[in-house]
């Protein structure tokens, strides 16, 4: 794949250059003199003109990013000064007042901000930037990973793990387009998204912000996000820059803790962690963020191997790299590969870093390094060219401001809410159903309870508080969706998964008496504005996968009443709910379905929506099974655990429907091909039930014998289809060389002749797949 990319890229760039005089590729012929303020001049010439006018300080200023003032204020409000100092994840600048920050902008020493939380603030900051000598606008970034959810009033879409459960790349692209529109309307130009980490350890708190465990699915979702955020090119005023992060492999930390080391072979890097980045780069991702962690002793932020040799030279990345929060500082404070901040700056810039996220400890050391001749000014120019290119192409020199009175027409519109609802509906995974769902006609009274029944945890991480009326909780969804004859009895036990008491449990049991059905909503809390109660999300790792607090007792007590129970999980990572899977007749994995999630959950439970989500990640039985992913090697499970079951609780790709789908055998266009050929695989799928439904058809490949060990199966294609009752559809996949290639012992990409299994079906579990054989000569 890497080799193919190298050939294709120059061609794509040539076409783009030819298409648009605003090209960013090369200064126009003869380097004719243009003014950077001339909007009609080619971008590359504008960049060169501006660069030639800038002082060293102004250049390094462009590489410096700070946190927005309102965010700083929020941090100060939520934390005591001692708490602020105790954790470098908090935003604060000791000794720097708001006025000092404005002075830094006006003297050209800040080029970018992150987390500017109001449009008014964005305009104020841009106004200050207009007072600089060269009037260079600010680039404003924000963690808009499932909608611009840090912004009050934005549409909060389902989190990435939910989006991956839809297996619907077009929908994800639409969400990214809408997110971009909401960002531009409110003053941001750069989404720190998509997170294309391949999540392989559910103890890690950030699983919910990934697209799951499979490199192919993560890559496809990443491409959809990049395409939606950036558009074909990001000159469009409704598009923003995308940022692929975190390069690389922080998603399988040795102990499950965020930012801890990653010890990983080159093979695993190339087979598992690099491919989604390659795909997103091929799709044009213009920015990348380095990862907190080290790889085999080499911290990513100081790694020339990763940031230059791999990212730029091998993968062909053409944009700019931003550091992650405090990670340049951590080269000294945590990794200790240098003994001063100045050396940290040297290491990272020399390795290929283009922008320092957040804070003052960069500009002066970097200037000194240039003045001393250790970093060349040309090295700084390389970074600044890319940063200016982004600002020109985004149109910020022409108009850095937003119209505050127009925001309401662009954010949380009817259309955006309806997309969020569609995504929530498609993302919900019905894990188990012993004929309890959808709710039957004879049910008259429903008890609904549990800590997540009536709160905002369904928004997930990277959301700030939203107006109450913008979020539909599960209880509110039930009220809207239930048939008139059903009486809903909500038992309130507070809103925190960690705070359940014996009294809550016994009261819920007592309340269950006159009800025909119990719905209990449990799970986790990823809300960053409720830091005291968070059980999930960034920096919230766990050493077990059980329900936190006394939620398990609550479920068991309700089950012991003898009434039928539905468990709804609202959570941001797989939970090892083995007892629930074995004892509770219906289990709904809702993940974190966003602001419209409560309605979607209710619709699934009452049968107004036929569930169609599929797991983008394996659910293990317990923490001891980690690592637990479907694309493992054969030797992984040749031996078994002695006293417990060896397989996962729910397989990757699993998800039930109220319809039944019958699969035919996969049929190949040719059963023998040459290694450079493509092959088509067709499978017939029939809805044999009386209910229309949607199904995600999955295709896996297995190389039967190879010179290095290969996974038991690998996802190489998927398609979401809808089928009316009794309807049959043929689904055709096209497999090219990439589906059969791997890295040999010399780490060269190769295809070996021999036999391959091609399997199609409804999940990665063997019992859900039908298989045929392909021979490659």
Binding residues vs ligand BGC (CB under 6 A): 114, 143, 192, 245, 324-325, 538
How far, rounded to the nearest angstrom, does the alpha carbon of residue 492 sit from its chain's CA centroid? 32
Closest CB to ligand BGC among residues 245, 621: 245
Structural contact between residues 482 and 491, judged by C-beta atoms closer than 8 angstroms: no
CA–CA separation, 5 vs 277, rounded Å?
12
Taking the complex as a whole, the smallest distance from the CB of residue 768 to ligand BGC amounts, in Å, to: 35
Taking the complex as a whole, the smallest distance from the CB of residue 141 to ligand BGC amounts, in Å, to: 8
Beta bridge partners, 458, equal none
Question: In whole angstroms, how far apart are CA 605 and each of 436, 473, 610?
Answer: 9, 14, 9
Closest CB to ligand BGC among residues 205, 365: 205
CA–CA separation, 175 vs 285, rounded Å?
17
Taking the complex as a whole, the smallest distance from the CB of residue 326 to ligand BGC amounts, in Å, to: 8
- Structure token digits, residue 300: 């990513």
Bridge-based pairing of strands 661-663 and 679-687 is antiparallel
Structural contact between residues 154 and 118, judged by C-beta atoms closer than 8 angstroms: no
CA–CA separation, 580 vs 559, rounded Å?
10
Closest CB to ligand BGC among residues 538, 603: 538
User: What φ, ψ does residue 418 adopt, rounded to 5°?
Assistant: -70, -30
Taking the complex as a whole, the smallest distance from the CB of residue 355 to ligand BGC amounts, in Å, to: 12
Q: Token match 């979401």: residue?
A: 720
- Sign of the alpha-carbon torsion through 39, 45, 50, 53: negative
Closest CB to ligand BGC among residues 8, 89: 89
Q: What interhelical angle do 551-560 and 502-511 show, nearest 10?
A: 30
Catalytic residue among 143, 197, 324, 361: 324
- Number of Cβ within a 10 Å radius of residue 532: 8
Closest CB to ligand BGC among residues 245, 270: 245
Burial 289-311 (b: 16+ CB within 10 A, else e): bbbbbbbeeebbbbbeebbbebb
Closest CB to ligand BGC among residues 48, 538: 538
Taking the complex as a whole, the smallest distance from the CB of residue 358 to ligand BGC amounts, in Å, to: 8
Alpha helix stretches (DSSP H) within 239-315 = 266-268, 274-282, 304
CA–CA separation, 605 vs 594, rounded Å?
17
* CA angle (700 as vertex; 206, 8 as ends), nearest 5: 80
DSSP 487-534: EEEE----S-TT---HHHHHHHHHHGGG-SEEEEEEE----GGGGGG-
Closest CB to ligand BGC among residues 220, 538: 538
E-strand stretches of 555-669? 565-570, 586-589, 661-663, 667-668
Closest CB to ligand BGC among residues 320, 700: 320
User: What φ, ψ does residue 114 adopt, rounded to 5°?
Assistant: -125, 155
Taking the complex as a whole, the smallest distance from the CB of residue 114 to ligand BGC amounts, in Å, to: 6
**Residue of 539, 545, 621, 544 lying closest to 205 (CA atoms):** 539
Taking the complex as a whole, the smallest distance from the CB of residue 104 to ligand BGC amounts, in Å, to: 19
Taking the complex as a whole, the smallest distance from the CB of residue 328 to ligand BGC amounts, in Å, to: 13
Closest CB to ligand BGC among residues 192, 650: 192
* CA angle (703 as vertex; 699, 704 as ends), nearest 5: 120
Output DSSP code: residue 439.
P
**Residue of 367, 273, 384, 289 lying closest to 327 (CA atoms):** 289
- Structure token digits, residue 195: 């997170």
Taking the complex as a whole, the smallest distance from the CB of residue 277 to ligand BGC amounts, in Å, to: 15
The answer to whether residue 38 is catalytic is no
- Which residues have a catalytic role annotated? 324
């Amino acid at each position: 794949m890497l080799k193919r990319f190298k050939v294709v890229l120059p061609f794509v760039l040539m076409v783009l250059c030819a298409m648009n005089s605003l090209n960013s590729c090369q200064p126009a012929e003869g380097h004719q003199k243009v003014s950077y303020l001339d909007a009609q001049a080619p971008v590359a010439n504008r960049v060169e003109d501006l660069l030639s006018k800038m002082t060293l300080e102004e250049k390094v200023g462009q590489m410096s990013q700070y946190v927005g003032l309102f965010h700083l204020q929020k941090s100060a409000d939520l934390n005591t000064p001692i708490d602020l100092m105790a954790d470098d994840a908090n935003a604060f600048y000791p000794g720097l007042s708001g006025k000092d920050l404005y002075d830094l902008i006006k003297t050209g020493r800040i080029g970018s901000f992150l987390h500017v939380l109001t449009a008014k603030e964005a305009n104020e900051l841009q106004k200050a930037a207009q007072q600089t000598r060269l009037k260079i606008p600010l680039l404003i970034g924000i963690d808009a990973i499932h909608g611009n959810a840090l912004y009050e009033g934005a549409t909060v879409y389902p989190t990435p793990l939910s989006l991956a459960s839809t297996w619907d790349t077009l929908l994800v692209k639409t969400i990214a387009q809408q997110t971009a529109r909401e960002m531009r309307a409110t003053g941001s130009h750069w989404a720190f998204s998509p997170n294309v980490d391949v999540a392989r350890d559910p103890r890690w708190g950030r699983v919910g912000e990934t697209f799951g465990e499979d490199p192919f699915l993560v890559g496809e979702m990443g491409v959809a996000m990049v395409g939606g955020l950036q558009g074909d090119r990001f000159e469009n005023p409704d598009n923003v820059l995308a940022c692929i992060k975190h390069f690389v492999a922080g998603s399988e930390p040795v102990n499950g803790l965020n930012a801890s080391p990653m010890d990983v072979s080159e093979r695993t890097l190339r087979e598992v962690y690099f491919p989604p980045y390659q795909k997103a780069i091929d799709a044009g991702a213009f920015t990348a963020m380095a990862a907190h962690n080290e790889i085999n002793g080499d911290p990513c932020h100081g790694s020339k191997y990763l940031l230059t040799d791999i990212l730029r030279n091998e993968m062909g990345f053409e944009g700019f790299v931003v550091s992650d929060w405090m990670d340049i500082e951590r080269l000294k404070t945590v990794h200790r590969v240098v003994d001063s901040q100045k050396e940290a700056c040297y290491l990272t810039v020399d390795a290929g870093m283009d922008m320092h996220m957040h804070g003052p400890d960069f500009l002066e050391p970097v200037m000194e390094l240039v003045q001393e001749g250790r970093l060349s000014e040309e090295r700084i120019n390389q970074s600044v060219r890319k940063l200016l290119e982004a600002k020109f192409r985004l149109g910020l020199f022409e108009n850095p401001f937003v119209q505050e009175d127009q925001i309401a027409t662009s954010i949380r519109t009817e259309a955006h809410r309806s997309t969020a609802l569609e995504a929530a509906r498609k993302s919900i995974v019905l894990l188990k159903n012993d004929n309890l769902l959808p709710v039957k006609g004879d049910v008259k009274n429903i008890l609904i309870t549990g800590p997540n029944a009536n709160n905002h945890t369904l928004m997930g991480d990277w959301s700030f508080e939203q107006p109450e009326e913008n979020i539909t909780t599960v209880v509110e969804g039930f009220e809207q969706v239930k048939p008139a004859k059903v009486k809903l009895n909500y038992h309130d036990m507070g809103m925190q998964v960690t705070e359940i008491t014996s009294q809550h449990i016994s009261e819920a049991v007592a309340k269950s008496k006159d009800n025909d059905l119990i719905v209990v909503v449990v799970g986790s809390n990823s809300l960053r504005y409720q830091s005291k109660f968070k059980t999930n999300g960034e920096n919230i790792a766990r050493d077990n996968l059980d329900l936190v607090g006394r939620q398990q007792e609550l479920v068991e007590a309700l089950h012991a009443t003898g009434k039928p129970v539905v468990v709804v999980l609202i959570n941001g990572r797989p939970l090892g709910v083995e007892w629930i899977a074995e004892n509770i007749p219906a289990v709904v994995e809702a993940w974190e379905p966003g602001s419209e999630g409560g309605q979607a959950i209710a619709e699934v439970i009452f049968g107004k929506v036929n569930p169609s989500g599929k797991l983008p990640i394996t659910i293990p039985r317990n923490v001891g099974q980690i690592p637990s992913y479907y694309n493992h090697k054969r030797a992984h499970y040749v031996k078994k655990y002695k006293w417990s079951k060896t397989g996962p609780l729910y397989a990757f790709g699993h998800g039930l429907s109220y319809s039944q789908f019958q699969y035919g055998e996969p049929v190949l266009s040719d059963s023998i091909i040459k290694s450079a050929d493509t092959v088509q695989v067709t499978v017939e799928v029939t809805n044999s039930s009386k209910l229309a439904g949607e199904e995600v058809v999955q295709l896996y490949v297995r190389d039967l014998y190879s010179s290095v060990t290969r996974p038991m199966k690998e996802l190489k294609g998927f398609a979401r289809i809808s089928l009316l009752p009794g309807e049959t559809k043929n689904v055709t996949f096209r497999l090219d060389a990439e589906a059969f290639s791997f890295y040999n012992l010399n780490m060269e990409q190769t295809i070996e002749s021999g036999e391959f299994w091609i399997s199609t079906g409804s999940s990665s579990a063997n019992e859900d797949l039908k298989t045929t054989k392909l021979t490659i000569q």
